């Protein structure tokens, strides 16, 4: 019998660099507040009304940060310096020379074996050369990669790897969801479009929605069938008691999202103690051995 499972081919090209960027931003949001507003401010909250999308709010956040890093890399490209560096290696055999014509995005696309036109090929198709290229060419080339789908394919793979790594960090999930909750909690029903009000219970509070089976399974296996606060086994495998509670890390009453990134596994006792007035989670994890 064929079992349909979803797998991620993890290549880890700068994945941990991006993970560190995301970690730093969530731990020091005040330093990035202007950029973060481009993610959740000015009615962008409307992007997060759907309860429990598989492309979660945290997926969208990762994508936003990675794209921002790509654009920052574009700003840092110094074509004159790359041309000067190329001259310094002219005395070396051609097979040993670094490829100074490859931009950072080319290296990422090549590493993931994503088909695309190189910067040199694109310049040639536009009747120019690397020696004559300028900053505008760099941005136009990147936009062309976006139009042709190469950037979208790259983002899909990078985001999948990052989510796979970071979803296990409940403390980081709490920081992300607390950030989102501050925006949601500030909303009033009269400022929400009529067609979107059904998503809300009252001002700044999403309506409670059924937690899908796939979310329950994802959280159950991430938290290894244990209450994340008291570590009680609630898997039903070694203990008869099997009272699983899927808890919103940031409560709905405080602006929390109906999102897989905002759910954790608690026993009945810890769930009752937590209630709706705190965002308790745990950064303690069982060692592999």
Tens-place pLDDT, residues 193-242: 999 999 999 999 999 999 999 999 999 999 999 999 999 999 877 766 66
Tens-place pLDDT, residues 75-130: 999 888 888 876 766 666 555 556 677 899 999 999 999 999 999 999 999 999 99
Tens-place pLDDT, residues 244-272: 899 999 999 999 999 999 999 999 999 98
Q: Where are the domains of the chain?
A: 1-166, 199-289
Going by C-beta distance under 8 Å and a sequence separation of 6 or more, which residues neighbour residue 135?
A: 77, 79
Number of H helices, E strands in the chain: 11, 4
In this prediction, residue 206 carries a pLDDT of 96
Give the residue with greater pLDDT, 211 vs 286. Answer: 211
Mean pLDDT, the chain, integer: 90
Report d(CA 230, CA 284) in Å as an integer: 10
Report d(CA 153, CA 17) in Å as an integer: 19
112: left (phi over 0), alpha (psi -120 to 50) or beta: alpha
Tens-place pLDDT, residues 17-66: 999 999 999 999 998 888 899 999 888 988 999 999 999 999 999 999 99
| 199-289 placed in CATH 1.10.30 | yes
């Amino acid at each position: 019998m064929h079992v349909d499972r979803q797998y991620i081919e993890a290549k880890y090209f700068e994945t941990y660099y991006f993970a560190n960027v995301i970690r730093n931003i969530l731990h020091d949001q005040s330093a990035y507040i202007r950029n973060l507003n481009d993610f959740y401010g000015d009615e962008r909250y409307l992007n997060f009304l759907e309860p429990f999308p598989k492309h979660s709010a945290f997926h969208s956040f990762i994508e936003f940060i990675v794209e921002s890093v790509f654009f920052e890399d574009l700003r840092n490209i110094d074509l004159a310096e790359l041309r000067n560096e190329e001259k310094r290696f002219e005395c070396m055999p051609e097979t040993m020379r670094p490829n100074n014509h490859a931009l950072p995005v080319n290296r990422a696309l090549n590493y993931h074996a994503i088909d695309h036109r190189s910067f040199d090929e694109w310049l040639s198709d536009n009747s120019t050369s690397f020696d004559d290229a300028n900053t505008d060419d760099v941005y136009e080339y990147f936009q062309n990669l976006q139009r042709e789908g190469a950037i979208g394919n790259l983002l899909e793979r990078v985001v999948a790897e990052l989510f796979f790594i970071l979803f296990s960090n409940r403390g980081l999930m709490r920081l992300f969801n607390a950030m989102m909750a501050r925006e949601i909690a500030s909303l009033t029903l009269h400022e929400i479009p009529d067609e979107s009000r059904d998503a809300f219970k009252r001002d700044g509070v999403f309506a409670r929605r059924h937690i899908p089976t796939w979310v329950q399974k994802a959280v159950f296996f991430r938290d290894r069938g244990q209450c994340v606060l008291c570590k009680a086994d609630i898997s039903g495998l070694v203990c008869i008691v099997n009272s699983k509670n899927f808890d919103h890390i940031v409560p709905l009453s405080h602006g929390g999202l109906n999102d897989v990134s905002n759910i954790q596994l608690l026993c009945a006792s810890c769930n009752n103690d937590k209630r709706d007035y705190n965002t308790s989670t745990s950064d303690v994890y069982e060692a592999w051995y």
